[in-house]
Structure 1
């Protein structure tokens, strides 16, 4: 699979990275791609208030973005140290999570952008278009053999626990801005089950008057589900394709349940989908 390309201007930024990092990460990322989207439903409706966060039925707290990143760091340290994963990591399967993925922080994407998470606004029709796609990896990228194609989401900026885009000093302008794709992705939530959930493409189109459009904080995808198990392994697997000098790249096994896109600036839910198994009736259908 071929990783989405970026514009020449953005490649110039990435050229400053060291040759060792580029060579180490290229082997891992070359097979990555967004899953080709199947025909997707369209939402055309007013926005509505976002649902409040909920705790697990037993009173336990949902694992959030910061928690997941912390567990991945523990697993990465264990790999780099040659030791066993700590008990906290081994006990993850079955725990529920709610992962926030801020996107479009720099503004709208071009109409032909390949970014898996993106939004753009059409001034003429006053419509906001939101697109979310799963990433697909080859099994051997995670050190696996003869398994179903893993699918999931990169956790961008995993060093930050913030669940929204960084504060803007100005409103995002209506210009095409693709994110710079660097060989530095280090954390992913991945479905390793035999029947990957979701069919790759989720899209919503909403009519929003220009004077009511507030995207100063970008948008946010929230993915919920349970921590799963990697076949033949535990909940987290880390790899170092370029050797011990490379920062480990980690995958947390996930059983995805629901995908929600909301606007943190207005606290409105824009779309909601149940992520079902491929071909399952009702999968990829917004509320």
Structure 2
């Protein structure tokens, strides 16, 4: 993560790749990406799970992202000989831990969220001449406060990508095939978190670089891909440390 942050800063500043980047080639990595943190699996999470109460089965699914044909993929050396570029987004790359993020306490009803501008207070109406008394009516019930919609998640900005070249190994090339496990299971108790485990090695391109970044404008956070070779993809249940399924090179 530190190397990706350094590469992002260097790209945004208009410089070349950091000197520390070349030393990362061949280094092994292991990431445990939690999913199901909110009881559901929004688009920001790397995988999803669902439980079929009728069949008593638990299904875990992870789909790779295809970057083939994107400007980032076209910036790779020998781009014309590349068949596919696939991998996974790293959600919430600002976190240093492998656990779910802490949920913020929502503000009381009627108060703006931290990232919202407070509404201007209405000025009191001008004094008016009294009107003739009218028949008293029952006071209308105050409407219930509307639920505050959740803000949109941040766009994905960091991914691990494997490059598949012509004539190379296709063991971990998935295409439209997801990583998926279906097994008999007792129903999860409440919101349950699982881990998508990614293991492998950082791979350098022909130019020695391991991180590629691109941004549409100067005031947008660059999107960066770290080129890797995956050795293992697995699902784990952190509650008991059980491996629910794995794929090895």
Q: What TM-score comes out, normalization by structure 1 length?
A: 0.60
Measured at CA, do residues 181 and 221 of structure 1 come closer, stay the same or move farther in structure 2, by a change above 3 Å? farther
Q: Which residue of 2 aligns with 1:34?
A: none
The answer to whether the aligner puts 1:73 opposite 2:44 as a matched pair is no
Q: Which residue of 2 aligns with 1:244?
A: 218
Q: Is the 1:260–1:272 Cα contact (8 Å) retained in structure 2?
A: yes
Q: Which is higher, the Rg of structure 1 or of structure 2?
A: 2
SS at match of 1:166: coil
Measured at CA, do residues 244 and 166 of structure 1 come closer, stay the same or move farther in structure 2, by a change above 3 Å? closer
Higher relative contact order (CA 8 A, sep 6+): 2
Gaps spanning 5+ residues in structure 1: where? 1-68, 170-178, 277-287
Distance in 2, Cα, partners of 1:245 & 1:266:
44
Query: How many pairs align?
Result: 193
Q: Which residue of 2 aligns with 1:220?
A: 195
Gaps spanning 5+ residues in structure 2: where? 105-149
Distance in 2, Cα, partners of 1:231 & 1:217:
43
The answer to whether the aligner puts 1:268 opposite 2:242 as a matched pair is yes
Deviation of residue 136 (structure 1)? Answer: 0.4
Measured at CA, do residues 229 and 214 of structure 1 come closer, stay the same or move farther in structure 2, by a change above 3 Å? farther
Q: Is the 1:230–1:237 Cα contact (8 Å) retained in structure 2?
A: no
Deviation of residue 138 (structure 1)? Answer: 2.6
Match 2:178 to one of 201, 221, 230: 201
Deviation of residue 165 (structure 1)? Answer: 1.9
Distance in 1, Cα, partners of 2:158 & 2:240:
29
Q: Is the 2:8–2:222 Cα contact (8 Å) retained in structure 1?
A: yes
Measured at CA, do residues 243 and 92 of structure 1 come closer, stay the same or move farther in structure 2, by a change above 3 Å? same
Deviation of residue 183 (structure 1)? Answer: 6.2
The answer to whether the aligner puts 1:166 opposite 2:101 as a matched pair is yes
Distance in 1, Cα, partners of 2:33 & 2:240:
17
Q: Which residue of 1 aligns with 2:49?
A: 119
Match 2:58 to one of 107, 121, 128: 128
Q: Which residue of 1 aligns with 2:233?
A: 259
Q: What TM-score comes out, normalization by structure 2 length?
A: 0.68
Of 216-225 and 79-88, more deviation after overlay is shown by 79-88
* Structure with the bigger percentage of helix: 1
Distance in 2, Cα, partners of 1:92 & 1:154:
19
Measured at CA, do residues 79 and 96 of structure 1 come closer, stay the same or move farther in structure 2, by a change above 3 Å? same
Q: Is the 1:154–1:189 Cα contact (8 Å) retained in structure 2?
A: yes
Deviation of residue 82 (structure 1)? Answer: 2.1
